[in-house]
Amino acid sequence: MKKKMLGAFISLLALAILAAPVYASPPTTGIYTQAIVDHTIDPGEEFQTGDILHTRGGISEDYNYGGPLGNSISSLGVANGVLNLVSLTGTSVGHGVATYAAGTVERTLNVKYTGIGLYVYLGPSFTFTLGEVTATVTTGDRFGGVLYDFMAVKHGTDDLAGFTSKGTGSGVAIYAVIVGDPDMVGMTINLETGTYSW
């Protein structure tokens, strides 16, 4: 009799364990800083109305350094924007996909161009390759060009499902290198800070 009761108890215990809700570990959250360099690989459609340059479907290749997912393996973005050619102010909206060792992240980017000026890069030093160019960015490098502020929202797909981040920052579309690698002319660089959850 005791063996039957013990067997029934073990069976009930096993059912209770199988039926119990599964609790996931709490999400990882934090603050991040990420440097991003990009260059245009296809300007898309461009046309001018008065002093305003319109761009549709411009494609850029990016390199993302640091951040919660580490360095990107590959990253492409598509953007549409308007730029006043006199004041060098305007806006742009883009979206893209970045691949990391852990998986893929999709992003949406809103950019506000604020005019010409000097940009001092204050992030960590790193070396990157985009296309046929390999260059080094060093803390304190100085670039002249069109300055911009931006907001980026990202979310993970597939293996990174559940990953989200929201960041802001500033950068420059480089027309002149004052201190730094001369191969950076024609690229953009920015530093993004924000929060993430996974």
Mean pLDDT by 10 residues, the chain (198 residues): 52 45 61 95 96 97 94 95 98 96 96 98 95 94 98 95 96 96 96 96
Whether 138 maps to a domain, the answer reads yes
In a domain, 5, yes or no: no
The reported pLDDT for the residue numbered 131 is 87
Residue 53 belongs to domain spanning? 27-197
CA distance 67 to 154: 12
3 state DSSP class of 17 = helix
The pTM (predicted TM-score) of the whole model is: 0.84
**Residue 79 within any structural domain of the chain:** yes
Which residue in 172, 186, 180, 189 sits closest to 123, CA to CA?
A: 189
Q: Which pair of tokens denotes residue 192?
A: 């993004």
Taking each continuous run of H as one helix and of E as one strand, the counts in the chain are 1, 11
Half-sphere exposure of 143 (CA within 13 A, CB side): 29
Give the H or E element holding residue 125.
Answer: none
Q: How far apart are CA 170 and CA 172, in angstroms?
A: 7
Distance CA 196, CA 33 (A): 11
In a domain, 93, yes or no: yes
Residue 53 covered by a domain: yes
pLDDT of res. 9: 47
Residue 12 lies inside a defined structural domain of this protein = no
- Amino acid symbol at 90: G
pLDDT at 110: 98
Instruction: Please state the domain count of the chain.
Output: 1
